[in-house]
Amino acid sequence: MPRETNILLAKEIAERQKAEEKLLDSQERLSQIIDGNSIPTFVLDKNHRITHWNKALARITGLSNQEAVGHDIQWKPFYTHKRPTMADLILERASEKEIKRFYKGKYHRSALLEDAYEAEDVFKWEGKDKWLFFTAAPLINRTGEIIGAIETLQDITARKEMEKEILAYQEILETNVRERTLQLKKTYEQLLHAEKLSAVGKLAASIAHEFGNPIIGIRNFLKGLKKTATMDQDDTEMLDLAIEECQRVKDLIGNLQDFNRPTSGMASPIDLHKAIDDMLLFCKKNFKERHIIVTKQYAPNMPKIHAVADQIKQVILNCLNNAQESIAARGGNIRLTTVIKEEQALLHIKDSGKGIKEDDLIYIFEPFFSTKPAVEGTGLGLSVSYGIMKKHHGNIAVTETSEHGTTFTLSLPLPLPLK
């Protein structure tokens, strides 16, 4: 019997040796597979100690295989203090809550591997942001026990940077589209506005034409009546009032006709600065009474503009009057600046008045729009000015307005083509 036992024992020993060799073999092979893999990978045993730390991982983390294996320092390249990696959490069969605590909003269950988790996170390495995508899965033996965990990492910084770039581009694109839409809307509104003004202008001019002659006839008749008829005091006063009113209507009609009258006067080369100075002279007395100080800054070498002098002067005067009227009794200032810009002569008329309300801005160039008491404002000044500037291929616009004042800018082409 002992002989048989010996044989059995020897067989057993031989088998064990074989098995051990096999095990060593397979461990060796596993090491080689992991080490030769280009995907940064590490493996933990069930005591959270590193059993494998491959070359690819050593390269990206700077922690060598010798330093890592046998220790539980898998956190070190990634965090400033000791805390579980995804592989550690898996080893402990950590609850979702626990995983969430460490990887809030950054992890999800793997779609490919049961019990595996994936996450992406950003780490600061050598002062630079590095994005890593990592997958951790349990290693399970035949009886279903977790005996270790494997974690692989992928550097996805390039992808993340690309995403960021794309997002930035998208944002730029969106802003561009938004700006363009706004511009288009504004242009459309301006077009509508210009069309409306021109239609109203034509209507006003034709009405003025119909009324113009009869009103002069009526006035002349009333004047004649006053000379020949004998009337009591009251009637004479009434007649005077009627004549005055006729005059007022006639003036109004004159203004209305200006609004759309084709350039009737002769266009000639005029000195813009002289035209301004002429009108300032006109306003001098009023400005003084209202304590308004005028300052000027004229562009040197301003070429002559080709325009109908009276009409341009009328526009300037309208603007000066409006500026003066916007300034309260205690006084203020008006600044006149001329600039040559892109083959245009610009005149900025800036006042320190009360400004124009945003709601009013779209109406101010319309005939009869006025915020002034009935006797003071006819609401024709700006609409007439607008008509004149358009006929001169120029423009008039509010370029700035706030409670501190308003700037109107007149622009005229240099040199000016006239139709």
Using the minimum distance from each CB to ligand ADP, give the nearer residue, 254 or 379: 379
- 85 in contact with ligand ADP (CB under 6 A): no
For residue 92, CA distances in Å to 87, 98, 209, 239 come to 9, 10, 97, 110
Q: What's at 352, amino acid-wise? A: S
The per-type count for the chain, helices as H runs and strands as E runs, is: 10, 13
CB of 169 to Mg ion, least distance (A): 49
Rounded-to-integer distance, Cα 281 and Cα 270, Å: 17
Burial class, 61, CB count within 10 angstroms (exposed 0-12 / middle 13-18 / buried 19+):
buried
- 370 in contact with ligand ADP (CB under 6 A): yes
**Which listed range, 21-29, 134-142, 154-162, 380-388, lies at the site for ligand ADP (CB under 6 A)?**
380-388
Strand order in the sheet with 107-109: 50-53, 41-45, 146-155, 128-140, 117-125, 107-109
Among 356, 389, 410, 412, binds ligand ADP (CB under 6 A): 356
Using the minimum distance from each CB to ligand ADP, give the nearer residue, 336 or 380: 380
Pick what 311 binds: Mg ion, ligand ADP, none; C-beta below 5 to 8 Å, kind-dependent.
Answer: none
* Closest residue to Mg ion using C-beta atoms: 381
Q: Identify the helix (H) or strand (E) that includes residue 340.
A: strand 332-341
Contacts of 39 (CB under 8 A, 6+ apart): 56, 152, 153, 154
Among 135, 322, 409, 411, binds ligand ADP (CB under 6 A): 322
Please check whether residue 246 is in contact with residue 218, taking contact to mean a CB–CB distance below 8 angstroms.
yes
Work out whether strand 128-140 and strand 117-125 pair parallel, antiparallel, or are unpaired: antiparallel
- 381 in contact with ligand ADP (CB under 6 A): yes
For residue 117, CA distances in Å to 36, 51, 76, 137 come to 23, 20, 20, 7
CB of 360 to ligand ADP, least distance (A): 6
* Closest residue to ligand ADP using C-beta atoms: 381
Using the minimum distance from each CB to ligand ADP, give the nearer residue, 148 or 381: 381
Length of the chain: 419
Work out whether strand 41-45 and strand 292-297 pair parallel, antiparallel, or are unpaired: unpaired
- 353 in contact with ligand ADP (CB under 6 A): yes
- 322 in contact with Mg ion (CB under 5 A): yes
- 22 in contact with ligand ADP (CB under 6 A): no
- 254 in contact with ligand ADP (CB under 6 A): no
Pick what 364 binds: ligand ADP, Mg ion, none; C-beta below 5 to 8 Å, kind-dependent.
Answer: ligand ADP
CB of 213 to ligand ADP, least distance (A): 25
Pick what 257 binds: ligand ADP, Mg ion, none; C-beta below 5 to 8 Å, kind-dependent.
Answer: none
Using the minimum distance from each CB to Mg ion, give the nearer residue, 51 or 326: 326
Work out whether strand 292-297 and strand 332-341 pair parallel, antiparallel, or are unpaired: parallel
- 311 in contact with ligand ADP (CB under 6 A): no
Among residues 378, 197, 379, 411, which one has the least CA distance to residue 312? 411
With contacts defined by CB under 6 A, how many residues of the chain interact with ligand ADP?
A: 22
Among 138, 148, 353, 381, binds Mg ion (CB under 5 A): 381
Pick what 346 binds: ligand ADP, Mg ion, none; C-beta below 5 to 8 Å, kind-dependent.
Answer: none
Q: What's at 216, amino acid-wise? A: I
CB count within 10 Å of CB 95 equals 10
Alpha helices in 261-308 (DSSP H): 272-289
Give the residues lining the site for Mg ion (CB under 5 A).
Answer: 322, 381
Give the residues lining the site for ligand ADP (CB under 6 A).
Answer: 318, 322-323, 326, 351, 353, 355-356, 360, 364, 369-372, 377-383, 406
